[in-house]
Amino acid sequence: MKLDDYLLAYLQYLSTVITNSSHTVDAYKRDITKFIDFVKQEGIEELKDIDRLLIMNYVTKLRMGELGSKTISNTSLARNFAALRSFYYFLIEFYQFDENPFLLMKNIKKEKKLPEFLFYNEIEILLDSIDTESALGIRNRALFELMYASGLRVSEVSELTRQQIDFPNRIVLVKGKGNKERLVPFHEEAAMWLLRYMNEVRLQFTNEKEVFVFLNKNGKKISSRGIQYVLDQISVASGLQMKIHPHMLRHSFATHLLDNGADLRVVQELLGHENLSTTQIYTHVTSDRLKTAYSRAHPRSKMRSES
């Protein structure tokens, strides 16, 4: 059986038996085809003859960009290995192959993408650019002030009810992922805008029976997509030359707290992260900022960079 025939059989298996999405099948097809083409170039005619040395050579060429137009990331390499491991499991099951050579390869650690955030002055520019002459403008200011003040996810602020806000103590009861609850404070500025929204304009959208805090112009709960749409408009009005998504307010909340000396475990609790490792990604952001500031400000560092 030819090398390409194995691949065709596997792709048919994925599409008909496993019923994978077309995107998954296409991705696996690209990855496995790249490997088979490499095997052919090495003069190997049987997939059973693959050994660790050949796989290491394959990985090296992938990383160096010799099997494509560019080098590949750890994330792409991990997906490539997943496709090939799955392919060999299929060959073991249906074509009596003895072993899966890609089990010998250690799992590739995926690169953690650093969260995007706004600097404090950019947050001020964004919030101050909201036109609060209209009822919707006051709603928008209250909404985004609270998101930045408490680090709420967009889904959490969309689902927020009146009963979850304790104005006297300036605390919001947040219902996060998995219905886990956490208490998060908010500052006086956010409280002022929230009260102005609740007392002055909210009833223009609905009546007292509506439980959700933030409503659209039709008096219904504002959706996550609706919040993104509003933020897109505000971003343009602010003049900030970047694509701003709601989660950036949450990232900014965490980054600014750590920048100003907050304990990592406190930030973990405020964000509702189950594992501390999830919160630690923000320490990379703050340390990178410190290094940049140091390089720009320290005279000895500046001398080295200018020489």
Is 282 labeled as catalytic in the residue annotation?
yes
Q: How many separate domains does the chain show?
A: 2
Give the model confidence (pLDDT) of 51-96 as tens digits. 888 888 888 888 777 887 677 777 778 888 888 989 999 999 898 8
Is the residue at 304 inside a domain?
A: no
20 vs 263, higher pLDDT? 263
pLDDT of residue 134: 94
* Residue 147 in this model has a pLDDT that exceeds 50: yes
Residues 188 and 274 in one domain: yes
Which of 105-119, 216-230, 255-269 has the highest mean predicted lDDT (pLDDT)?
216-230
Q: Percent of the chain having pLDDT more than 70?
A: 87
Residue that is last in its domain, among 104, 129, 157: 104
Q: How large is the average pLDDT for residues 175-201?
A: 92
Against a cut of 0.85, is the pTM above it?
Answer: no
* Residue 85 annotated as catalytic: no
Phi and psi for 183 in degrees, rounded to 5?
-100, 130
My answer on whether 207 and 99 are in the same domain is: no
Place of tokens 């919001």: 172
* pLDDT for the residue numbered 22: 75
| 104, 135, 153 - which closes a domain | 104
Q: Which of 40, 109, 177, 225 is catalytic?
A: 177
Q: How deeply is 111 buried, as exposed, middle or buried, from its count of CB atoms within 10 A (0-12, 13-18, 19+)?
A: exposed
| Within a domain: 63 | yes
Q: Which residues form the domain of 49?
A: 3-104
Residues 230 and 199 in one domain: yes
Q: Is 188 found in the same domain as 125?
A: yes
Tell me, yes or no, if 250 is annotated catalytic. Answer: yes
**What is the predicted pLDDT for the residue at 103?**
80
Q: Which of 273, 289, 294, 302 is catalytic?
A: 273
Asked whether residue 172 falls in the same domain as residue 285, the answer is yes
> 154 lies in a domain?
yes
Farthest CA pair distance, the chain: 77
Q: Is 273 a catalytic residue?
A: yes
Average pLDDT, the chain: 85
Q: What is the mean pLDDT of residues 150-179?
A: 93
Residues 279 and 140 in one domain: yes
- Same domain for 281 and 194, yes or no, is yes
CATH number at residue 94: 1.10.150.130
CA distances 3 to 36, 81, 125, 193, Å, are 7, 18, 59, 66
The predicted structure's pLDDT at residue 110: 53
* pLDDT at residue number 112: 59
Active site residue 251: no
CATH number at residue 174: 1.10.443.10
Q: Is residue 97 exposed (0-12), middle (13-18) or buried (19+ Cβ within 10 Å)?
A: middle
Residues 248, 135 share a domain: yes
Annotation marks residue 177 as catalytic:
yes
